Amino acid sequence: MIDRRYRTGDGVIVVAALGLLLLTFREYRGFTSTSGPIDVSASSPIAAAARMQSDKSYLLTHADDFNAWTDLAIACYQKGPDAYAEGLNALDKARKLGATGDALFWYAGVMFQGLGLPDYAISELERYRHHYPDHRETRARLANLYLQVKRTDEAWALYEELRKENPKDPVILYNYAIVAKEKGQWADAYSALAALHQDGQPFPESDAALEKEIKSHMDENVGKKP
């Protein structure tokens, strides 16, 4: 168990069990940005760590500089999950000192998601989506989060949008299959998995369990009314 504390506007939160968030979903790697601040994530963890140290040194004598707190939060975001708790703490201080901007919703949302706090992540990412309604990764993250907190209809609506826009995207197809299964849309779930392997190749081992569950349910319910 990991016990990591940081402050938000709601007080101290205890974060435990970081690995719970992703369920069986897949996430994008090296996502191509269409809007927003995502391009800054290209910094290496080593460079981000150096930037964190520089920001902290500066803040020792400039504790009221919300730009420095914001920069520290972004550096923590860039460094990765082990720095997310510190990043959210810095971001909270920046906001209290007057920092604003739509990009902050993105950084907070991703870091909350990485710490396994879906309700906080949803709140931030929904605000970010208000500014960038067509941003694909935001919608994909929200769809995953909605399913995690049992907001299945909202997850389904987003993944239907994403599949129509990107019918051959393997991550979207796989996650769509999971959401369809949860909705009881077994035929849609299987068609999404089958679309991953239109080249005739067998299902890889990573997909085998999901494919077996979906196909078994369909075979057992042939001819039955839903």
- The model's pTM is 0.77
Q: Residue 4 belongs to what H/E stretch?
A: strand 4-8
Q: Which of helix, strand or coil describes residue 68?
A: helix
Domains of the chain: 1-27+35-149 (1.25.40.10), 152-226 (1.25.40)
- What digits encode the pLDDT tens for the residues 144-197? 999 999 999 999 999 999 999 988 888 888 888 888 988 888 888 888 888 877
Longest C-alpha distance within the chain, in Å?
Answer: 73
The CA distance from 85 to 29, in Å, is: 22
Q: What residues does 8 pair with on adjacent strands?
A: 11
The CA distance from 92 to 86, in Å, is: 10
From the list 204, 152, 201, the residue with the least C-alpha distance to 174 is: 204
The CA distance from 87 to 108, in Å, is: 8
- What digits encode the pLDDT tens for the residues 41-78? 557 889 999 999 999 999 999 999 999 999 999 999 99
